[in-house]
């Protein structure tokens, strides 16, 4: 086998990416030795003894399976995904949609010779032989990285259809006031009710049909109230499902960044909810209910989502324990 293995590639860079494309932690110590563990991100696999050194982080979703197995003991036809879904709900905007809303244009700038664009940058403007180059920064992508969730996200417009000057009451939804928290809550509820079955039906499942995806919701500005209605609709739909399936579904995080009219919003108490605010001219009000107020790491008093990049590192999912008496998942204290 040595003749056709990576060992046959003499005088070349060692390939550390082996089984499942995971990186082998080898020769990382100064004496040339190493742990010889395979890095699966969520946990390390010790191929020397054929065991994990910790349980599966999603073990509570697999009631019929040992928390120490890999891929449900079916490695020939199953993989071990991280299993998540992130829903982004944007606020008031000037036509930006989906990924574009969460993009900070030209967040980084640099200057250099004209015609020599640095990698990752693009020309903005210049004069003579000098050019200014800009590079974007992506809030949604960084949230996805922070939560170790690289499945395709879903995006919603929580403003009621684009730019509405505060208080104008117009909306693309007849009978709904986008300028009020109650109106946006109702819009989110209507949309969540419409999409709930599709969202749950498309959550990832293992070969035994156990749901292996968690749901996380990130909102900004007007999207905060929309998100409350959306979560309420999801929970109402989940409550109609068989008890065994209800136990497998998690809305594990709601993060509201500078929610507009926060004092008119109430967290449901079932979902770990975090609120980030900047003490500026807009959106200083705290939400009601069980909400963890996160002090912003930024000194900015701006409202734009791009002013909250430093707070992404504080996002984390909640931990739950099944309550047999109430037949619900209880959020555990830290």
Listed in sequence order, the residues at least 6 apart from 21 whose beta carbon sits closer than 8 Å to its beta carbon are none
Note the pLDDT tens digit of each residue in 21-37: 678 888 878 787 888 88
Tens digit of each residue's pLDDT (9 = 90 or more) over 37-72:
888 766 788 878 877 777 766 555 454 566 676 665
Residue 165 pLDDT: 57
- The pLDDT of residue 39 is 80
How far is 143 from 150, CA to CA, in rounded Å? 10
CA distance linking residue 70 with residue 212, whole number of Å = 14
Which is more confident, 4 or 251? 251
| CA neighbours closer than 13 Å in the CB half-sphere of residue 108 | 10
The pLDDT of residue 306 is: 94
291-330 confidence digits (pLDDT tens): 989 989 998 999 999 999 999 999 887 565 656 676 555 6
Question: pLDDT value at position 161?
Answer: 75
- Mean pLDDT (the chain) is 81
pLDDT tens-digit map of 163-220: 665 555 555 444 456 778 888 999 999 999 999 999 998 887 777 778 877 899 999 9
Please return the burial class of 128, using the count of CB atoms within 10 Å of its CB with bins 0-12, 13-18 and 19+: exposed
What are the structure tokens assigned to 142, written together? 């960084």
pLDDT number for residue 303? 92
Q: What is the pLDDT of residue 254?
A: 94
List the chain domain ranges.
16-54, 84-102+139-293+314-331
Compute the average pLDDT of residues 229-236: 96
- Asked whether the predicted pLDDT for residue 82 surpasses 50, the reply is no
Q: Which of 148-157, 279-288, 307-316 has the highest average model confidence (pLDDT)? A: 307-316
- As a whole number of Å, the CA-based R_g of the chain is 24
Looking at residue 321, its pLDDT comes to: 61
């Amino acid at each position: 086998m040595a003749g056709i293995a990576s060992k046959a590639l003499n005088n070349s860079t060692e390939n550390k990416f082996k089984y499942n494309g995971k990186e082998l932690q080898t020769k990382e110590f100064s004496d040339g030795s190493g742990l010889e563990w395979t890095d699966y991100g969520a946990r390390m696999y010790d191929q020397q003894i054929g065991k994990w050194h910790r349980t599966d982080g999603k073990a509570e979703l697999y009631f019929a399976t040992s928390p120490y197995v890999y891929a449900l003991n079916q490695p020939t036809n199953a993989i071990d995904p991280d299993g998540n879904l992130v829903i982004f709900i944007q606020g008031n905007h000037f036509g930006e949609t989906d990924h574009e809303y969460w993009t900070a244009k030209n967040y980084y700038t640099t200057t250099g010779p004209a015609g020599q664009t640095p990698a990752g940058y693009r020309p903005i403007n210049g004069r003579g032989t000098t050019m200014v180059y800009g590079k974007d920064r992506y809030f949604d992508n960084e949230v996805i990285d922070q939560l170790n969730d690289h499945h395709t996200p879903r995006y919603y417009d929580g403003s009621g259809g684009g730019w509405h000057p505060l208080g104008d009451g117009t909306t693309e939804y007849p009978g709904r006031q986008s300028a009020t928290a109650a109106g946006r809550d109702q819009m989110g509820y209507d949309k969540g009710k419409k999409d709930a079955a599709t969202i749950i039906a498309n959550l990832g499942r293992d070969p035994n049909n156990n749901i292996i995806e968690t749901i996380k919701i990130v909102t900004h500005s007007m999207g905060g109230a929309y998100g409350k209605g959306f979560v309420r609709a999801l929970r109402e739909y989940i409550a109609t499902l068989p008890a065994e399936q209800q136990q497998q579904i998690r809305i594990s995080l709601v993060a509201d960044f500078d929610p507009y009219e926060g004092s008119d919003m109430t967290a449901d108490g079932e979902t770990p909810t975090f609120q980030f605010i900047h003490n500026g001219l807009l959106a200083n009000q705290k939400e009601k209910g069980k909400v963890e107020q996160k002090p912003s790491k930024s000194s900015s008093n701006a409202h734009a989502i791009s002013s909250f990049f430093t707070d992404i590192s504080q996002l984390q999912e909640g931990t739950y324990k099944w309550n047999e008496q109430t037949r619900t998942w209880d959020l555990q204290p830290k």
